[in-house]
Structure 1
């Protein structure tokens, strides 16, 4: 152990323990001046003090070197700690900067100025389409679409993934739930009612700035809806269906033509296209009327003892026999008779009674769609009542009406009715 020499006391050289050492110094010829015990003790003290002083100097030198080494180690440790602290602060600063980049920036605001109206929470798919100025169904601007977007917003903005199938169901794709995809509840514009158009048009006009549309185009879309709202067609029977169909066709056509670099003024109401929409609605009503008639005559055929559906004061065939159509009945009490497509088979009582019925009772000719009185069993007119096109039905070799065009070409309208 390294001991400080200054702390070591000087021995008592006058004690009996050092007598032999004192005698040796007295007898030593190298110390002729030492002749007594006192002189010998003094000589020993001087020698010890000289040696102790040398040890003190050596101890102080080594202590100073040791202190300098410790100070150097301390300085190195402090430098390393400072470097680590600086690196930690730098990393925290970088992380803070990265977090700040991901955050929504804060902008200055004017105190005392509130919000005029709540912003539109568009469906992500509609927002993407509007930003790209692509066609998007008007359903995405209805309250139902806004509710779906608000309900699914947390899922849409998450970072989770899910499996999705391709259109041909042949491949699987890993998609993030944050990706914008069409809604499964979307309706095409042709299936929207006029009331749906009225509810969605304001939201659609409000979303136009998302695509950066110039004021001229925004005014065009606004005039388009204003002209439809004030059109005289809405005051006619079935006019709302016609206007809803016209809206769907024209809005889709504008986006298609705009992609082809052939845009037109959507605000101009084209009467020719409006007439086509009227004809299309009328054809749909005609087909539905034929289907209803086929259902009614089928019910009459299944119940030959029931009163005629055309007799005055009797309920319609659909209401006259509701019970056999209910699923709660286990068996049909009126089994239909066996049919035969042979033209030589004699007509049934129902067919004979129908052919002998008074013509004014028939609401409309099923061939020319005319309500005037004429022989509907042998109608040979070449055009329908308004002269716009040829009849959809014509007489076949068995003198029965069959479809002459369309997907039902060659099928008889109703064999038992004739």
Structure 2
């Protein structure tokens, strides 16, 4: 049905009894005995019926238009609400990112004094290695290593930066965080006392840096097996144990990267015996080298004493 342009209720009823409609009335009367007044009355009745139908249709059209308008308004509100939520979400995400980038300071316990002793502080390089779960020499956690860190801090600025690759980006990072010390000592070359003190500090720092409990327990047992091993009382026993500790811990970190690491807390006596044999062989070689060097020096001194005037006495 075609749309109705205006409300039919306001339409003005035509005067069907007027001369304007006389021709229409005549055609309707035709050969009948109906009067003009009767025809006019019938036309009025027909017009009113038609108007009533159009009024009903108009009301239905108005209701449909109102429903469509309400639907359109609801859709518009939903779209506006979705857009508002999207903008709020984006603003919240931007705020979170901004908060992440802001420097933060942790809380402190009111009324709690500093402890009676302070843990020696390793270098930023060593801490960075621990944060990355990478291998780092125990020397950095020894008193000598921590003292070297403190001395170096007095002679060079810790805020010196260098370029480093982070994921797929190049970023500025403190040089101290990725620069190894030239004074670092390999684990197997540490003195036993240095090793013993350093491993305690090492275990303390991996705990502070929230290493997995499983890994902490394994390393604690690993070091306990080393320091409490009866082989310490043997000749070159401590050197063999230091070599065992150095190589096993290094290999453990290498296999962790490959995701096939062994249980470092389990002590391998056969491997220790092999390490001990290596230490003994090196000691024998050094001893022989020292003896040979002494003989060479003695012969050299003897030869220098054999001048042409004393040749006969040199070979008596």
TM-score, normalised with respect to structure 2:
0.56
Separation in 1, partners of 2:273, 2:113: 49
Superposed displacement of residue 128, structure 1: 0.4
Separation in 2, partners of 1:282, 1:141: 28
Superposed displacement of residue 289, structure 1: 2.0
Superposed displacement of residue 243, structure 1: 0.9
Structure 1: unaligned runs, 5 residues or longer: 1-97, 164-173, 306-331, 337-347, 351-418
Contact 1:251–1:266 (Cα < 8 Å) also in 2: yes
Name the residue aligned to 2:158.
157
Name the residue aligned to 2:202.
204
Separation in 1, partners of 2:270, 2:291: 31
Superposed displacement of residue 212, structure 1: 2.5
Name the residue aligned to 1:297.
295
Partner deviation per Cα, 1:22-56 (whole Å, 9 max, x = no partner): xxxxxxxxxxxxxxxxxxxxxxxxxxxxxxxxxxx
Contact 1:156–1:179 (Cα < 8 Å) also in 2: no
Superposed displacement of residue 249, structure 1: 1.0
Name the residue aligned to 2:191.
193
Contact 1:138–1:200 (Cα < 8 Å) also in 2: yes
Structure 2: unaligned runs, 5 residues or longer: 1-97, 164-171, 309-313
Task: Say if 1:151 and 1:228 are closer, same or farther in 2 by CA, change over 3 A.
Answer: same
Name the residue aligned to 1:17.
none
Task: Say if 1:334 and 1:144 are closer, same or farther in 2 by CA, change over 3 A.
Answer: farther
Superposed displacement of residue 259, structure 1: 1.1
CA-based RMSD of the aligned residues comes to 3.2
Contact 2:252–2:261 (Cα < 8 Å) also in 1: yes
Task: Say if 1:214 and 1:162 are closer, same or farther in 2 by CA, change over 3 A.
Answer: closer
Separation in 2, partners of 1:139, 1:200: 6
Matches within 5 A, 1:73-92: none
Relative contact order, CA 8 A, sep 6+: which one is greater?
A: 2
Larger Rg over CA atoms: 1
User: Would you say 1:144 and 2:116 are equivalent positions?
Assistant: no
Size of the alignment, in residue pairs?
A: 202
User: Would you say 1:129 and 2:104 are equivalent positions?
Assistant: no
Superposed displacement of residue 162, structure 1: 8.2
Match of 1:232 among 218, 230, 233: 230
Separation in 2, partners of 1:105, 1:194: 39
